[in-house]
Structure 1
């Protein structure tokens, strides 16, 4: 091989390596024994391990599922020399106890000496699915709010007329004993108007101030302890390094209190519940996307309980007004909490299974424009 050709091959090899280093798709090269020969930086990040740690490891250690279908796909691709793609596979990734959702493609590569390698491409979907789910939740909440505002306008106008007519009628009644009926009309009109106002949620702009989230959570904890006594244990798992944030203190207390009360009610209404416990947890998350906005630093507040859980059907609609899983519930608490957190440019999510329900409040720690002049 001439010096020119050697230089060209070397240049092409370096270009290929640079391209692999900049791919967002995790790439793993496997030998004929399905052991790792090469991983790119995206794969290192996915596996939470360095290339030197991963080199020589069997792929079954790095990625596997409950029914071994991934291993079967790799073996079939190696034996049949046929590429294979699987969408939305649920697998365990090295160094993680959580199931991840990925698309993967397996491509056999035959070299000049007829040895066979496999190129495994992994595209994690959890982040994209979460962003899509959050986007849908935000859009659905905004659409519901617009619908409720329209209905509230149409309801409150005639209610005002009914109330006024009842008051005029009360003045004209010849017998004061008949005022009992007009009083009922006025009281019921007021009750309906208050219900409509609750459905609308907070209508005042937040009063921004610097707050410590743990002071908020301790206030919520003291209120709940006063209400339930020793019936429900409330544990704390706080990150003391969290900075102060800009928020409306009273609104944030209300939002978190609604969620914690919801957890308390689920625990106390379950007759077979053993050791009813609520955990209040705080963490910081970096480079996190809420809706279409990527935030440098996010405050995560989790309210976890060991109750019976929330059904999948209820999880789809639980943040809508007037939706409740309890016979005595109003269905407004979670909707109001979502509205308050939305006003703080955040979001409330829920993951639930029997024995473990977690409500997650995601709040940006950086200050939006309307908050920048607080305390100036």
Structure 2
């Protein structure tokens, strides 16, 4: 009636007796276990063989170690093994204490600790990014006040807008539970123009960004900053793919907007949709 898994084996490891708990754990009958080598029931048989060798040489009264017990149609079971001599000569008792719950708890604790460490790392990184942002924005504002060229002022405005966007991103990282998505009216062409300015600022020579807009597209509801980030990621990938053409001076990316009709998203059909193409 013991809940502990118990086997009695001879000095070589042949099973002389197995209790009902061990029978259930292995998923096989005692009759089929009898006279088989018990070490074959483990993923690492050598550990039990070494323990039995020590028992034969009277090197210990009891030996403990952790192992994995193989089971029929189930994953291996982590167990704590206790090998002890008996009063009957040539017989050894092997007790197995399942560690499944303990192993699961340890895994969960490790995952929680890892998640906490990652969260702390992100917060520290966000603080490190936040500190110089104010200086970058302030320097760009001072520089803008000294400039007279409209083209150069556009570049300082890009710096200021991107510093503000990074500030917003850092704030989200520092307090993700407080800041919801900012949903408002979005003009897709304003998004494209912002991305175009950023790409041309990064690749000022050898790259043209061509506009092919459908001016009839109306505003829609969305998160403008996240949409800018998404389009910027795609456009940036396109520019990187054109590295050789940029070096040659004849690279081109096209921003193309159209109205899509009868479009299916996620098994749902929409009468009208926006198509935005970033073409390299």
TM-score by length of 2: 0.47
**Which structure would you say has the larger Rg?**
2
